[in-house]
Structure 1
Amino acid sequence: MNRQHRQPRHHVIVLGAGYAGLTAALRLARNPAVSVTLVDPSDRFTERVRLHQLAAGQPDVTHPLSSFLRGTGIRHVAARAVDLDPAAREVRTDDGRTLSYDRLVYALGSVTDTRIAAEEGTVGERAYTAESAAELGKRLLDGPGRLAVVGGGLTGVELASEIAESHPAWDVRLLTAGRVGAGLSANGRAHLRRALAAMRVRVMEGERITSVDEVDADVTVWSASLRPLTGLAGAAGLELDGEGRIVVDRMLRSATDPAVYVAGDAAATSLRMACATAMPTGAHAAASVLADLESGPARPLRFRYVVQCISLGRNDGLIQPVHRDDSPLRSVVTGRPAAFVKEQVVRSTVRILRVAASRARAR
């Protein structure tokens, strides 16, 4: 329907323009009865799943936000939300604006958790994270030395392998408290070890690091865990779970305030924090908001895992098929075929967003 013939009756604010927030905003914008305001300080969308490539020297992993929003009717407020008032249904930003909403989608995501990493200050002052990948890439050009990646999860593995492949003169170690690739099958872990060994990455398991000072390296990359960006929600009185995620029902509606919906890493679901879960929950949160505004039936979130995709440099990878609960199957795909599949999966995220933008323009 032509938006000139039907004025929006409801206003929805989306906080955050990552995978979940941008997906939610574009899905909401397809409904001509809804006006959407997207609040995010950046004017670019970052492919977070490529940050390890940025650290290894890829020039850019971002896209102009305008390329997704142009013609959709979505208003982008390039500011940071600093206060949320659920009672008044208002959001205040760091540039002094007060924005009112009928419904709000909270999709501020997560960042690398650095709070327990240093005895004084934060790890960000003495180590790099995925979020500072551009600065890490510049540091690696200064010359070889000893580099330690702390954290044996998938992000840590991708960072270690990408850096070791692109900067072979650096002595790269991967430190982890448990087993590297703990969520993989035995076949998956075996390939992971072979690939890292081929790149001369030394894997050191059983290394419980609680401070950057404990790491003997010229450069430390902290990748131990993620934390949700829910300080704004907590200060507003929204209920958080033990991990700091916003408690929601099966429709992704806040347990505290029915006008607030949550998508991505900030939502207290059983899903792991990942791009693979952010986009589906963003779409579902938008669908729940629309059902709410139209007094229609809302469906509970249903999600099943299919695979875990890991890049091991540019020429190797690991595709781990999983059960619906994310537990691994025995079989794996490795080598160049896996690297190709991983790349196609990563590219598909931007393709999906561009298709969503096209549909919003055609409303």
Structure 2
Amino acid sequence: MQHRIIVLGAGYAGATAAGRLAKRLRREDVAITLVNAEPDFVERVRMHQLAVGQGLRPRPLSKMFAGTGVELRLAEVTGIDVDRRTVSVVEANSAQEQELEQEQELTYDSLVYALGSSWNTQGVPGTAEHAHEIAGRPGALRLRERLARLEAGRSVVVVGGGLTGLEAATEIAESRPDLDVALAARGGLGDWLSPKGRRHLRHVFDQLGITVHESTAVTGVETDHVTTADGTSVPAAVTVWTTGFAVHPIARATALEVSGTGQIVVDATMRSVSHPDVYAVGDAAMAMGPGDKPLRMSCASGAPAAWRAADAIAARLTGGKLPNTPLRYFNQCISLGRKEGLIQYVTADDRSVRAALTGRLAAVYKELVCKGAAWNVANPTFGIPSRRRRVVRAGQHPQEAAAANAEA
């Protein structure tokens, strides 16, 4: 019997985990299924570029995983029963020239949960009805269509002063200098950055003509304006909401132990603390990093977490050594349009240090990081030793398993 591994979600974390598992384990021993709702890999870190009309290279998952042994299932996950070890999915099937949705049930021995996150409205009235989001491809495409119809001189307000907000505001302002672009941030502009980083950020915003509303909480969104906590009305023909992410709700509906944010609580190997046959990676996981701080929702966290989970699964199945390399941060990469960038170097636990790279060189650096992340996902088994280890069978003596893997 093959050990059945199901990976839910083919974003940066899920796709990376599936590819690494395929390289670590023998096809005779494991059956790896990757479930994703879309046929293409989405470069989420480029959604602000897509929103302003830039074309992105298509990356079909079927092509990426061809020849790896990973089975791709295009379906939406509708439920998980962690006690029965089943996943319910809905696929579109053609029957008598009509599209019929049929729920199917997949059974697993090990599950990698990587369903990621979407935008977080924070419960602010009017946001869901009137604001745009760029947490995914559909939202970015809707915003692109709206911006394309927007007349010169109209106002765009980006709500949220984090990395996504900074990138969205500068990208829109650079591509549409005829618009009045503003950013509303709860704190100061880039207040977590080093002094050098803050100076450069403010310089770029001034150069692009972006109005900054600092220490401003938006409490309501309407079709043509946003309202702040002090009652001020800020004109907004288009509102772009970037105030953080909310994880997929399915995990909270299961018996898995989750955090207050709905993330699956995992140990150092990305394994669920309540159900040892479930692993969670990317935004879906509540994982602790250096300084006993939760890893932030980001591509920078997702890929290393996926490596950790895949290596841990392979180690446990083959009797190998569990991974123990610490998960840590090195920098925060921020694109500020196509010509400017900011690379803020950080401590292992993601606190800014004095050093920062700015300007055109930083923009090139960020572009290389984005290309490298996509390339790694598109080449999921590159750079991993080709020798796959055999799965330890039930009842097999550890020394016998070790000898078998030494010969493999």
- TM-score, normalization by structure 2: 0.83
Structure 1 segments unaligned to the other structure (5+ residues): 1-7
Q: Deviations over 1:135-162 (max 9, x none)?
A: 1112111123100000000110000000
- Cα separation, 1, equivalents of 2:325 and 2:252: 23
Aligned: 1:111 with 2:118: yes
Residue 34 of structure 1 corresponds to 30
Contact 2:376–2:382, Cα closer than 8 Å, also in 1: no
Q: Deviations over 1:84-135 (max 9, x none)?
A: 011111001123111000000000111110241225xxx3431111131111
Structure 2 segments unaligned to the other structure (5+ residues): 92-102, 228-233, 288-293, 389-408
Contact 2:265–2:286, Cα closer than 8 Å, also in 1: yes
Structure 1 segment 236-275 matched on structure 2, within 5 A: 236-269=254-287, 270-275=294-299
Residue 5 of structure 1 corresponds to none
Q: Deviations over 1:221-248 (max 9, x none)?
A: 000111122x211111111112221111
Question: In structure 2, which of residues 200, 204, 217 is the aligned counterpart of residue 191 of structure 1?
Answer: 200
Residue 235 of structure 2 corresponds to 216
Contact 2:251–2:262, Cα closer than 8 Å, also in 1: no
- Cα separation, 2, equivalents of 1:255 and 1:160: 39
Aligned: 1:68 with 2:68: no
Residue 24 of structure 1 corresponds to 17
Contact 2:269–2:309, Cα closer than 8 Å, also in 1: yes
- Cα separation, 2, equivalents of 1:276 and 1:177: 24
Q: Deviations over 1:167-202 (max 9, x none)?
A: 011100000111222321111011101101100000
Contact 2:9–2:116, Cα closer than 8 Å, also in 1: yes
Residue 82 of structure 2 corresponds to 86
Distance 1:49 1:61, change over 3 A: farther
Max Rg structure = 2
- Cα separation, 2, equivalents of 1:263 and 1:210: 32
Residue 4 of structure 1 corresponds to none
Shift in Å, 1:360: 8.4
- Cα separation, 1, equivalents of 2:18 and 2:6: 8
Structure 1 segment 1-363 matched on structure 2, within 5 A: 9-30=2-23, 31-32=25-26, 33-60=29-56, 62-95=58-91, 96-118=103-125, 123-130=127-134, 131=136, 132-142=139-149, 143-144=151-152, 145-213=154-222, 214=227, 215-229=234-248, 231-269=249-287, 270-300=294-324, 302-358=326-382
- TM-score, normalization by structure 1: 0.93
- Cα separation, 1, equivalents of 2:340 and 2:235: 29
The amino acid that maps onto 1:92 is S
Q: Deviations over 1:208-232 (max 9, x none)?
A: 1132132531000000111122x21
The amino acid that maps onto 1:350 is A
Instruction: Name the Cα RMSD after superposition.
Output: 1.8
- Cα separation, 2, equivalents of 1:319 and 1:361: 32
Distance 1:357 1:295, change over 3 A: closer
